[in-house]
Amino acid sequence: MKTDPNEKIRQQFDLMPYPNLPASQMGGDGDRGLILHSFVTAWYAKTQRVCDRQDLTILDIGCGSGVTTLALAMANPKARIVGIDLSEASLKLASDRLTYHGFPNAEFYNLPIAELPRFKEEQGIEFDYINCEDTLYFLTEPAEGLQAMRSVLKSEGLLRTNVHSLYQRADFFRAQTFAKLLGFLDGNPTETEYRQIYAIMEALGDGTMLKASTWTPSDKSFGFVLMNYVMQEDKGFTIPDVFQMLQSANLEFVSMINPADWRWQNIFPNGMPEHFTQFLAKATAEQNLHAFELLQPVNRLLDIWCGHSGRSPEYVEISQWSEGMWNSAKIHLHPALRTDLFFQTLDQAIVQMRPDPNLQKLHRPHLDALTVTLCLRFLWQRPCKFAELVTYWCSHKPRLEAYRQVSTIIGGSVAPVGKLSDRQAQDELKFLLNELVLDHLILIELPS
C-alpha cells in the first residue's frame, strides 16, 4: 500500500523538526532575516511605497520549528501571527520558541495547506501576508497549494513562496535518486540509513562527481543528510514551472525576493553582446529570469513575492529614474533597522573607522562598507529628500576619506582629499542608493 505523501513528510519532521534548534535559540538570519520577513519589504517591492500598517494578519505555512514564525513576529511586532504545519513535534517546538521570545499569543494549527479554505470559514480570517518557505516543493500538486493560499489572501495581500531550483540542486536530486535506488526512502529515513549513506560517501574517491559536488566537508551531520540526500517528496522546478503554477492559481508575479542575485551585471561584467541586449529589451519577466537561471543557476531557491495582482504599470525601476524623479524622492531607512542598537553599531563603525562585520552581511561585498555606514547613519535619524542627502554627502564623504587615510597611514604625509561637487555627490549617491534598495536596506518613494 502506497504511503500518503503528507504522512511521509509528517514523519520526517516529527523525527527531526527543522531547523532543529532549542526553543531558547532564535535561529534565522539576524537583521537580514527581519528585513526579508517584514511586510514593509514585500509591499515596497510591489508598490514602491513605504507601508506603515500595524493591523496585519500573517500566516506562516510550513512553519516548522518556528524560526521563520519568530522572524515574522519580530519584523511585524503588532501583527496577528498564525503558523500551520503537518508535524505536531514541530508545532510544539514552534509554540515554545515564540513564547520564550515574548510572543505567547502566536497561534499554531496542525493543518495541511489543502484545508486552508475550510480554516478561513471556521476562523473567519483572511491574511495580509502569507509566508510559505521551503514547503511548496513537497506538494504533489503545487499549483493546487497556491490556489488554497490564494483563497485566504486578502485582495491587496502578498504571498512569499519558493521552490527548489531544478538546475542548482541537480546534484542533490541525483543523490536522492541514488538513495531511492537503494531503498532508503521506502520508509522514513532514520539513523540506520544515515550511517549507510555516510559510509558510502566516505568510501567514494574524492574525484567522484557526486561526492565532490554534494559531500560538504564542514557538515556531514544527520540533519544535513536528512535534508538533502533522503528528503521525502523533494522536487526541483524551473522559472517557467513557477510562472505556470502562478497562472494556474490565478496569481501574478511581483518580484524575486533577492533581485540583486538575478542581475545581468553579475555575469556580464564587461557588457552584453548586442543581440542578447536586444532579446532582453523585449523579454518578459519570465523569459528574463529563465535565461538567467540557464546561464547561472546559483540560487538554491526560486524565491518570489506574488499576489492577486503584480506591479502597477507606473512602477519604474530606480535605475531608470529621471532627474525630476530623483529630486522629488524621499529616502527611508528600512524600519526594521531603526533601532538604538543599530545606530550604535553604525556610530561605532564610523568612530573607529572599522566596518562592522554584521553590518557587512546586510549588503553585497562590492560596496564599500564604511561608505554604506555613513549613508545609513544619516538616514537613521529620519527620512530625507534626495537633495538633503546630497548636501550631507558633499560635506561628510570627504571627511570620511580623510579620516580613513589618517587611520591607515603611520608616518608620512596624507594626500589632500578634494571637495565633492553636487554633481559628483549625486552620481555617487544614485549608484549607492540603487544598490541599497536592491539589498532592501533602504526604500525610496516618490510623492503620491
Q: Residues 122-137: pLDDT tens digits?
A: 999 999 999 999 999 9
pLDDT tens, 231-252? Answer: 999 999 999 999 999 999 999 9
With cut-offs at 50, 70 and 90, classify the pLDDT of residue 397. Answer: very high
- Residue 257 has a pLDDT of 98
Strands 330-333 and 384-385: antiparallel
Which pLDDT band, with edges at 50, 70 and 90, does 187 fall under? confident
pLDDT digit string, tens, across residues 346-381: 999 999 999 999 999 999 999 999 999 999 999 999
Distance CA 184, CA 182 (A): 6
Cβ–Cβ under 8 Å, residues 145 and 114: yes
Decide: pTM greater than 0.85: yes
- Of the two residues 430 and 402, the one the predictor is more confident about is 430
- How confident is residue 404, by pLDDT bands cut at 50, 70 and 90? confident
Per-residue confidence band for 158, with pLDDT thresholds at 50, 70 and 90: very high
Quickly state the pLDDT bin for 413 (edges 50, 70, 90). Answer: very low
The answer for residues whose C-beta is within 8 angstroms of residue 168's C-beta and 6 or more apart is 293, 297, 298, 299, 300
Grid cell digits, residue 217: 566537508
| Percent residues over pLDDT 90 in the chain | 90
Cell readout for 392 is: 550631507
Can you list the alpha helix ranges (DSSP code H) found in 130-264? 142-151, 170-181, 191-203, 209-214, 222-228, 239-248
Average pLDDT in the 211-216 region?
Answer: 95
Dihedral-angle region of residue 240 (phi above 0 means left; psi in -120 to 50 means alpha; beta otherwise): alpha
| pLDDT at residue number 411 | 47
Q: Which of 79, 29, 131, 35 minimizes the C-alpha distance to 332? A: 35
Domain segments of the chain as ranges: 5-167+238-258+299-307, 182-228, 318-445
**312 pLDDT tier (thresholds 50, 70, 90):** confident
| Domain 5-167+238-258+299-307 fold | Rossmann fold (3.40.50)
Average pLDDT, the chain: 94
